[in-house]
Structures are given as C-alpha cells and as structure tokens.
Homo-oligomer: A and B are copies of this chain.
Amino acid sequence: MTFSVRAIGGFHLGGRMVELSGLPVRTARITQGGPPIEIDPNGRFAVEQMYVQYTLLSAPSFPYPVLMWHGGGQTGVTWEDTPDGRPGWQQRFLEAGFDVYCSDAVERGRASWAKYPEVFEGEPIFRSQQDAWRMFRFGPLDGFATRHEDRTYFANTEWPTYATDQYQKQVVARWAGHDAITQKAYDELVAKVGPCVIVSHSQSGAFSFQAAVNNPGMVRAVVSLEPSGPALADDAQVQTLSDAGTRHVVIWGDNFEGHERWALFRRLVADYGARISAAGGHWVNWDLPQMGIAGNSHFPMMDRNSDLVANLVQHWIKDNVQ
C-alpha cells in the first residue's frame, strides 16, 4: 500500500557540549590509502543528544503524530523491517495515515555515545544472545543453543524463530544510570513535536509514562508494549495526568511463566495503572492471550502477527484518542 510523503529526514536534539583535556595524543591511519595521522582525543564534544527520524504524510488521517520509542539495547530499527524481513510498524502506521517519528535514545545508534570513563560513567552493557533469550521469551529458559536447529522455541510462538540471529544484529550497547539525561531528551522531543501519541516498548515504557506526566495534556495517549517500569510520579502528578485525560494502553504478550523479572515489572506497571484508575484517569491492560492472541514474544512489533497487533493499536488510537 503506497502513501504520499511531504517530508522525510532526521535531526538531533538536546545534549550539551563538553571539553576534554590532558589526554595523551596517539597515531592511527584513519582513511584507506591515507597516511598515519596524529589523533588528539582532547577538545570539545557534543554529548547526551538524542536522534529523531521523521516521515510526514501529505495528508495524514489522524491529527497527531505517533512517536515510536525503542527498548533497552535497541534503536529505532525496532520499528523498521522485522528480523524476517517483513514491513515494520513504521511503514504500517504510515500506510494507516499517521505521521511517524522514530528515535534513537541518548547513547544508542545514531544518537552517538560519549567517551568513557571521561564523559559517561562506567562501562557499556552489551546484551548477549543468551541474555536476550532469557529476557525476550522466544522459548523456555533452558531452550537456548548456539545453533538455531538445536534451540527449543515455545510451541505456540509467533516469534520468527529462524531470524533470531538476524535480530541480534540490531542490538546496541547501553549504559546504566542514564535515566535522567534520557528522559530530558525525550521531554524535549515531546515539547518540540507538540500534541502526540507515544508508542513505546520495554525500557522506554517508563520514559513514555514519565513524558506524559512531565508534559500534561501534550501526550494524548501512551501505547506501551511490555513496559519494564512505571513513571516515578507522586500523587499530585498522577492526578494532573488523569485530569488531563491522557489515555494509556499497556500490551502484554504470552509465555510469562517462570519469568521472575517480568512478574516484577508487570506488578510495578499494574500498581501504577491502579493509581491512575483510582485518580479517575484512563488505563487499559491488553493481555493478548486473554484476548485470544497467543504466542507473542517480548516483541509484538516483530512477531509474525505484527500486522494484526498494529491494526489493533491503530484502530484503538483512531477510535479513542482526541
């Protein structure tokens, strides 16, 4: 299905400039066929910015853009082609008439990362395939093996199993302790874009809930796929959020049995939803298996039924968000 575009591009926002000094100079050859040159690691650097890509339609059928926010160790690639090569949610939402902004959070992908330990404290965290297996519910916890043919996937899984190695290519390094600078950049994005709907995933669930708290009324709805945490909002903020009419949909996949960490995340998120409901606000929980949609992994936007879940979300937004 084709769609007409009026603008496409990307930009950076937020962050700050830092000046480094006193580091030793070294020598390296940085261009093919060129000479070795002196590399001076000192000087002025841009750090903590985020990256945002946008595709804007000639005639969107919905008044607000959708901001797609990725999870931990991921980038905006989350919303592009699925690991098995089908169209992703970015394309599907454009086809459905939504303007789309896909971002890379501070430190990830095109946002760029900063020298450590000079600027970023501590070491980056790279998620291994084994750790991905433990967190993302492709199969039983003991089902991982190096070779695809030797792995045990859930019998009902919608995950594109043969593309598990291909998925691993989109994983990027992350840091711990960057919640505040990341939230700041996300808030700046919401302020720049204006009234919007956020579709978040996993780690960015908490950032999207908090962005709705920090920008009352600006975030018309948050649709969060398997959020790994709530906003850190006090009761007055929850009341303001609820009064502003922000709508929340939280979506959960299948096969959570035995996942203690997910049990905790789900409880923390449910507690937050209960506070919003108690304040008269809007909160909906979509448990996909209870809705008759079985087998989703941690990545409903990449699973084989990604178009079905996209359709549900698109219709909900158009019917419920004003």
Contact = CB atoms under 8 A, between A and B. Distances in A.
Contacts of A265: 31, 34
A207 interface: yes
A293 interface: no
- Copy tally for this chain in the complex stands at 2
A34 B58 CA distance: 41
B171 A55 contact: no
B10 A81 contact: yes
Contacts of A249: none
A5 B3 contact: yes
Interface string A227-252: 01110100000000000000000000
B9 A90 contact: yes
A94 B72 CA distance: 32
A129 interface: yes
The majority secondary structure among interface residues of chain A is mixed
Interface in A208-227: 210
Contacts of A17: 129, 165, 168
Contacts of A61: none
Contacts of A110: 75-77, 104, 109-110, 170, 172
Interface of A: 2-12, 15, 17, 19-20, 26, 28-35, 37, 39-46, 49, 51, 53, 55, 58, 72, 75-77, 80-81, 85, 87-88, 90-91, 94, 104, 109-110, 112-115, 122-126, 128-131, 146, 165-166, 168-174, 176-177, 179, 203, 206-207, 210, 228-230, 232, 261, 264-265, 268
